[in-house]
Chains A and B, each alone.
Chain A
Amino acid sequence: MNIADLFATHRRSLSVGFFILLIAFVLTFPLYGGIYRTDVLFTMLTYAILAVSWAMFSGTTGYMSLAPAAFFGTGIYVTALLQDYLPFPVIMVAAGVISFALAVVLGLVTLRLKGIYFTIFSFGLVVFMGNAINYVEADVLGRHGWYFNVVNQTVLFYTIVGLTVATVLAAYFIGRSRLGLAMRSIGGNEEAAEHVGIDTTRIKILTFAISAIFMGVAGVIVAPPLSYSNAGIAFSPVYSFIAVVAAVFGGMGHLAGPVIGAFVYGFLEEMLRVEFLIYFQLGFGIIIVLVILFLPSGIVGLVPMLRDKLGEVIAKLRKGGEGEQHANT
């Protein structure tokens, strides 16, 4: 049995095996990676959660949400407000619930609107919350930002690994469920989906809210390492942009796309941040435009493309070989 056949027949078990290996690698990383590299991996995982949960809703339904930063910031603020009163796991649950509720309200208000208005509105939420909280903090409460209690870095690392796995699994199972099918049909043609009997508004709100849970909880886990935060940091629109850019770069058609995109983005950002942050962002802008133009399925789309190309080349070589044999006889 040659390798190509092996890949074809055992694809599923191979990808599960790869997934398990990857998790094992990430889980053992703090043992030999050192503190700095583990921190980088922490950031990469955070971006992966944002990108996967963004693609979960926006990638399938086609409604471009720019709200991730709003939910992420909500998570950070829930931590700031509750850290002295509740244990950490409870805060995570609280942030998830609050993000879910916030997304439901936002969805009820906006998801009946056309795509463009939804995008504008969702982005408005980020800017609105950031500025409004900034005002309440500075002028009503008279304080400037919040300091976070110290939480064991190793515990946080494993928590974010767990959340990443949970996000990916959720995206996987939602994708395979009736809900996922309904979402894809909304993305394909919303009117047709409605005629088939799908309650499109309900589906959109539900999945938007589910994706918000992961962003909110990610905010909680990321908060303690920040050690200090204010409205400007927590609700920075950059988090929305990263989610979108990483997911698009990686490719939204495949589960691995946003994860790979987020890993590459996070890694490069960290490597280039000190001296070349502007060049990095410039370069990434160019890459994004090129990817959208020439590689709509993202970098994971390269794999089948290269495989096909390779197959063609091999077929050609074989044919050439056969031709030679004919010539010999």
Chain B
Amino acid sequence: MAEAERFLGLTLIGIFGGGIYGLMAVGLSLQIGVCRVLNVSHGEFVMLAAVLTFVFRQLGINPLLAPVFIGPLLFGLGFLLQITLFRGLKARAPSPAAFEGNALLAAFGLMYIMGNAARIEWGTVSLPSHYLTNSVPLLGVNIQLNVIVGFAIAAVLGIAVYLFLTRSRLGKAIRATAEDPATAGLMGVNTNIIMALCFGLGALLAGVAGTLISMRTDVNTGIGFNNTVIALVIVTLGGLGSVLGSYVAGIIIGIVSMMVAFFWESVLIVPAYYAILMILLLARPSGIFGKK
């Protein structure tokens, strides 16, 4: 009985935690899909937000309120990066393929810069900002409130992004830019601004995810890279440009990580991600919900 309860509890935590992964991956998906930047520094944005949550906590600001400050900050950072760095690269690149390569390398440099700058400022110690740690019963299992709240926020944001992309005029422009930037430009879409918006939005979503992560686990300045890996796996798994796909894949990854830890060994979590990814890439290279 206790075993079954633990199993159910882990599944629920996996699902709830997966929602946050999904949020993180939607951000990366926007950056890859619209801006064509394989942003390997995405996890560093998550890390930055998680660490800033701690800093704001020291100043007496509630973690649930922190995204109000951190969100615009990261949005601005992402926006600026796109209109300066990546737009500059795009203007200089001879071909789209060359741009993708250069953008990846630039993101690489960015990863070095952000990670190490944070390490200089905050060191490598744990910066806990746990919040809402009291347990509540759900389906007969006790789950920490922050896990549930995190999932709720991630889900609401996911739905908001989905509606924004599919229903609004700006969302239409974003989808057009992702599909064919040249034609979208001819139709009167300011693709440079759209791309900057998307990069900023991606950074913002990473930021919210970072705050939610810092509410439930210990964070330090070294978590960026791992989150990049998770986000990349989820984006590939869910299919580029699919909000729903990102969440489904995020939840799959969340459950898998809990199950592997439960039945097997926690060191095998990352190999398990990749095993899934490899099988999927071979069977369906465009992801679960990706377009052919």
Chain A residues within CB distance 8 Å of chain B: 62, 64, 109-110, 113-117, 119-121, 123-125, 127-128, 131-132, 134-135, 138-139, 188-190, 237, 241, 244-245, 248, 278-279, 281-282, 284-289, 292-293, 296
Q: Which of B19-27, B114-122, B206-214 lines the interface with chain A?
A: B114-122
Residues of B222-236 whose CB lies within 8 A of A: 225, 229, 232-233, 236
User: Is there contact, CB below 8 Å, between B267 and A289?
Assistant: no
User: Is there contact, CB below 8 Å, between A288 and B271?
Assistant: no
User: Is there contact, CB below 8 Å, between A296 and B271?
Assistant: no
User: Is there contact, CB below 8 Å, between A62 and B271?
Assistant: no
Contact string against A for B residues 85-111, beta-carbon threshold 8 Å, 1 for contact and 0 otherwise: 100110010010110111011101111
Taking CB atoms, residues of chain B closer than 8 Å to A279 are: 116, 120
Q: State which of B38, B229, B282 has its C-beta within 8 Å of the C-beta of A116.
A: B38
User: Is there contact, CB below 8 Å, between A127 and B229?
Assistant: yes
Taking CB atoms, residues of chain A closer than 8 Å to B278 are: 109, 121, 124
User: Is there contact, CB below 8 Å, between A119 and B102?
Assistant: no
User: Is there contact, CB below 8 Å, between A285 and B267?
Assistant: no
Closest to B221 in A: A278
Contacts A64-B104, A278-B120, A285-B116; A128 near B271 (Cβ below 8 A): yes
Taking CB atoms, residues of chain A closer than 8 Å to B267 are: 131, 134-135, 138-139
User: Is there contact, CB below 8 Å, between B117 and A282?
Assistant: yes
Closest to A290 in B: B109
Taking CB atoms, residues of chain A closer than 8 Å to B95 are: 188-189
- Given A131-B270, A293-B85, 6 more A-B residue pairs with CB atoms under 8 Å apart are A115-B101, A117-B285, A121-B278, A127-B270, A131-B267, A248-B105
User: Is there contact, CB below 8 Å, between B104 and A120?
Assistant: no
Closest to B86 in A: A293
Taking CB atoms, residues of chain A closer than 8 Å to B116 are: 278-279, 281-282, 285
User: Is there contact, CB below 8 Å, between A119 and B112?
Assistant: no
Q: State which of A113, A128, A190, A288 has its C-beta within 8 Å of the C-beta of B109.
A: A288
Closest to B102 in A: A292
B69 in the interface, Cβ–Cβ < 8 Å?
no
B281 in the interface, Cβ–Cβ < 8 Å?
yes
Q: Report Cα–Cα, A132/B273, bound state, in Å.
A: 12
Contact string against A for B residues 68-91, beta-carbon threshold 8 Å, 1 for contact and 0 otherwise: 000000000000000001001100
Q: State which of A128, A190, A289 has its C-beta within 8 Å of the C-beta of B274.
A: A128
Q: State which of B100, B109, B277 has its C-beta within 8 Å of the C-beta of A285.
A: B109
Taking CB atoms, residues of chain B closer than 8 Å to A278 are: 116, 119-120
B5 in the interface, Cβ–Cβ < 8 Å?
no
B148 in the interface, Cβ–Cβ < 8 Å?
no
Residue pairs across A and B with Cβ atoms less than 8 A apart, 8 shown, are A62-B97, A115-B97, A120-B38, A124-B278, A128-B270, A131-B271, A285-B112, A292-B109
User: Is there contact, CB below 8 Å, between A132 and B109?
Assistant: no
Q: Report Cα–Cα, A113/B95, bound state, in Å.
A: 19
In the complex, how many angstroms separate the beta carbon of B136 from the nearest chain A beta carbon?
34
In the complex, how many angstroms separate the beta carbon of B271 from the nearest chain A beta carbon?
5
User: Is there contact, CB below 8 Å, between B281 and A113?
Assistant: yes
In the complex, how many angstroms separate the beta carbon of A116 from the nearest chain B beta carbon?
5
Taking CB atoms, residues of chain A closer than 8 Å to B232 are: 120, 123
Contacts A120-B232, A189-B95, A292-B89; A285 near B271 (Cβ below 8 A): no
User: Is there contact, CB below 8 Å, between A289 and B85?
Assistant: yes
Taking CB atoms, residues of chain A closer than 8 Å to B225 are: 237
Q: Report Cα–Cα, A132/B110, bound state, in Å.
A: 29
Q: Report Cα–Cα, A134/B232, bound state, in Å.
A: 22
Q: Report Cα–Cα, A322/B274, bound state, in Å.
A: 70
Closest to A138 in B: B267
Taking CB atoms, residues of chain B closer than 8 Å to A245 are: 108-109, 112
User: Is there contact, CB below 8 Å, between B97 and A286?
Assistant: no
